Structure 1
Amino acid sequence: MVAAGESRSGNAEQRLQELGIQLPDAPTPLGSYVEAVQTGRLLFLSGMLPIADHKPKYVGRVGAELDGDAARDAAYTTALNALATARQYLGSLNRVTRVVRLGVFIATSGDFFDQPRVADGASDLFREVFGREKLPVRLVLGVASLPLGVPIELEVILEVT
């Protein structure tokens, strides 16, 4: 039997260790907002960006200044920030019982159409950490621009104990 907050191969914190993933420090707000708000069993994360040391790690539009592989890595980096934020708020990722929703906003040139593959950079990390059975519903959108000129912004909603 799988306990709440655990994937079939172990809990989320153990999976991070098994995968050799060290989470970055949780990002701090870049404006007048908080990074996470819990209501009931849902934890809402503010828009997550590919930020490192309080500045963008990636800048540019996908299909113009960045290719799909760089954008996929930016999505992965952004998902790491989301996990770091959730861990900081919850104390442990083992409290996550499900990733409910993942919104992936991708700044693109008008002729880039591989947004789902870019979004998989984030989805695949969540699958590896929490298990396939906890994958979220997902919305992927190409947009004209995002804050600070970054290529990716994630919206994440988690169910927690």
Structure 2
Amino acid sequence: MSDTIEARLASLGVTLPTPAAPQANYVPVVRTGNLLFVSGQIPIGPNGIEFVGKVGQEFGIEEGRACARLCGINIIAQTKAAIGDLEKVVRIVKLVGMVNSTPDFTDQPKVINGCSDFLVDVFGDKGRHARSAVSVASLPFGVAVEIEAVIEVA
């Protein structure tokens, strides 16, 4: 993959949003050394918060994947705001994906793949990462997915 990260985003039809401001007492990104810790990102789109509800109830796996992809877009937006140039991303190190799902729903990994697949599409092999995908009883604002990231940067 010789084209730029910005070109790959454009080819995927993605325009990065202005990153959302924190809604509580935390910062969106902390840099220590060459690592960025990106706070949990929720599915905020052009019209505000999207995908309010539970996977396995209001949403199926495909809608959950779309929600996770939107979280991934917001992770990249926060990363760009923190470092300025996405070419400085060395590797997506780890994701922690939380799925607001019904007690009997067990396909959390398939949902979080919406973000994982997107990050590989954008960053190529640098987008391959370690990951957790867990179910939770609820998430802020009732959203279906929240994802945090650890990213190595130059």
* TM-score of the two chains, using structure 1 as the length reference: 0.90
- Number of positions where the alignment pairs a residue of Structure 1 with one of Structure 2: 154
Equivalent residue for 1:29?
A: 22
Paired letter, 1:112: F
**Residue 93, structure 1, aligned to residue 104, structure 2:** no
Q: How does 1:1-161 map to 2 (within 5 A)?
A: 8-52=1-45, 55-161=48-154
Where 1:157 maps in the other structure, the secondary structure is strand
Paired letter, 1:65: E
Paired letter, 2:103: G
Contact 2:22 2:28 in 1 (8 A): yes
Contact 2:92 2:126 in 1 (8 A): no
Kindly provide the CA deviation profile for residues 42-64 of structure 1, in whole angstroms up to 9, marking residues without a partner as x. Answer: 00111111123684211111101
Kindly provide the CA deviation profile for residues 4-35 of structure 1, in whole angstroms up to 9, marking residues without a partner as x. Answer: xxxx3323122212333211221111111111
Q: Which runs of 5+ in 1 are unaligned?
A: 1-7
Paired letter, 2:6: E
Measure the CA separation in 2 of the matches of 1:57 and 1:153: 12
Q: Which runs of 5+ in 2 are unaligned?
A: none
Measure the CA separation in 2 of the matches of 1:33 and 1:100: 21
Measure the CA separation in 2 of the matches of 1:67 and 1:20: 23
* Greater mean alpha carbon deviation, residues 128-137 or residues 72-81: 128-137
Kindly provide the CA deviation profile for residues 99-134 of structure 1, in whole angstroms up to 9, marking residues without a partner as x. Answer: 000110001101111111111100011000100353
Identity %: 39
Paired letter, 2:94: R
Where 1:131 maps in the other structure, the secondary structure is helix
Where 2:18 maps in the other structure, the secondary structure is coil
Kindly provide the CA deviation profile for residues 69-127 of structure 1, in whole angstroms up to 9, marking residues without a partner as x. Answer: 11111101111011111111111111100000011000110111111111110001100
> Aligned-residue CA RMSD in angstroms?
1.5
Where 1:154 maps in the other structure, the secondary structure is strand
Measure the CA separation in 1 of the matches of 2:90 and 2:110: 25
